[in-house]
Amino acid sequence: MQGDTPQIIVNRATEARDIFVKQGAYTQNRPPFRSIMLLRDGYFPSLMNGSKWQNARKMWQVVLSSSAIKNYIPYQELESEQLLLDTLNEPLLWYDHLERFANSVGMVMVNGYRITSSSDPIVKETVEDLYDLSRVGFSGNMLDFWPFLERVVWTLPIYKLGRRMAKKHKDYIWKNYFGVKQRAEQGTRLPSFNRTIQERLQEGWTEVSELEGAEIGQHLLSGSTDTVVSTLTTCIAALCLFPDVQRKAQEEIDRVVGLDRLPRGEDEINLPYIQQLLLEAQRWCPAMPLCVARVTSGPVSWGKYNFPENTGLTINTYAIHNDPELYPEPHIFMPERWEGRIKAAHGENQLLFTFGAGRRFCPGKSLAEKSLFIAIARWLWAFNTSHATDEEGNKIPIDPKDLRPGNIVRIKRFSADVQPRSPQRAGVIRRVWREKCDTLLDENHQWKTNPERIAESMKMECDI
């Protein structure tokens, strides 16, 4: 029970599909999430129901449609090229470079602004904003377990903390949102999600306020950052712990791509082992061990069980992904288990639940998966990754179960030895980056003009 609401934890893939997909009309709603609403001043669209949720989702679906996703590949490829260069120059800071990569892909889409250095304060601000929400809002506290406490919320320890975090978050999203306005006033009017929001509000949109528009944009930025960093970190740990996986992946990349160029987005169809590696990373250490809770809005049944209206439902992603009937020896990182099953992972017989299920399935899944593919395929092309060693030559342990706590987890920062595979490959990385700087970027390493069709993707021509 949570307060007076019965709670059902779903631990098997068949149950998750039957409840959340086949009966999705009655399992799409969210519970109140009082703690998170305290941290977000009462507006957090992905955890809301009704028009607030529907309006936000329509906007996300337009900019995250299958046709729009293809237009963002130049962003992802450019950021991955800086990721390779940064790691080549500062291999000990590979973890920070992953955070910059993922954050910059989201930032340029949402705000039309690249993050050019892992030391940029905005990277830390983004990571802290996400972690605050994950650590406090989703941790489960007395306000969510005993709803009657909402009447005396100002007496609870979370209240003062929540108000501080709400102000910190609002300052952060306003900084990004008004940065778009400021750059437009200075003559930099690159298409972006928040710029489109601002233009639509000027044209008379009334269903979404300016603060709500900024929060909807922030959801896009958050969604393109935390899950991507978590999964890439899992990949790096797996390459260290299971060197045969790295060898097989590099053999496939070398056979398909060769030595003279980096892998590209269109190579994905010809690199099935890389796709399998990424699916296995989602299974082996899921970024979200428990999916965000739902609550039934009507009668739901499974087998002999009948769940009344207002029953809480949560997918136990970790349990499903470690089900030995589906995945023999689940503790072993084994991309081969996905051979011939790549489409099944998220198809009709869905096996992976990292991005949820049913009508609340994460709309940013395809964008995240493309970022993951481009980043890890290029990383494997460029680098050999192995255990770091101490002064006596002993391997420094990596514990994939030592996770940063929260709703979205990741393996805690660890040491890895990252080396270029050859001087020739290092030369390709430097040459490609020079060419991109000369043709696409200005003196501040910002886009001179956006890639073709980006403006079309950001039109957001939807009725809300």
What is the rounded CA–CA span in Å between residue 287 and residue 372? 13
What is the rounded CA–CA span in Å between residue 216 and residue 201? 14
Q: Which residues contact 10 (CB under 8 A, 6 or more apart)?
A: 16, 19, 20, 313, 314, 315, 316
Terminal CA-CA length for the chain: 36
Q: Give the H/E segment covering residue 415.
A: none
State yes or no: 285 annotated in a binding site: no
Q: State the amino acid at position 55 in one-letter form.
A: N
Which SS3 state, helix, strand or coil, does residue 8 take? strand
Tokens of 217: 């944009």
Bridge partners, residue 315, by sequence = 10
Q: What is the DSSP string of 75-132?
A: HHHHHHHHHHHHHHH-GGGHHHHHHHHHHHHHHHHHHS-----TT-HHHHHHHHHHHH
Bridge partners, residue 316, by sequence = 290
Q: Which residues contact 221 (CB under 8 A, 6 or more apart)?
A: 103, 106, 107, 109, 110, 111, 126, 176
Q: Could you give the dihedral angle defined by the CA atoms of residues 181, 65, 256 and 246, in that order, rounded to the nearest 10 degrees?
A: 80
Binding residue positions for heme: 362
Binding residues: 362
